[in-house]
Amino acid sequence: NACAKSGDVDLAFRVRDRMVDKEVTLDVVAYNSLIDACANSGAIKKAHQVWDQMKREQVQPDKITLTSLMRAHAKQGDLKGTLEVWDDMHLRGMLPDAQTFTCLLDACAKARNASLGETMMGWMREQGEQPNEVHFTALIDACVLGGD
pLDDT tens readout for residues 69-104:
999 999 998 999 999 999 999 999 999 899 999 999
Summarize the confidence of residues 21-37 as an average pLDDT.
Answer: 89
* Proportion of the chain above pLDDT 70, given as a percent: 93
Specify the pLDDT at position 94. 94
pLDDT at 52 over 70: yes
Quick check: helix, strand or coil at residue 59?
coil
Query: Rounded distance, CA 33 to CA 92, Å?
Result: 21
Specify the pLDDT at position 119. 93
Summarize the confidence of residues 133-144 as an average pLDDT.
Answer: 89
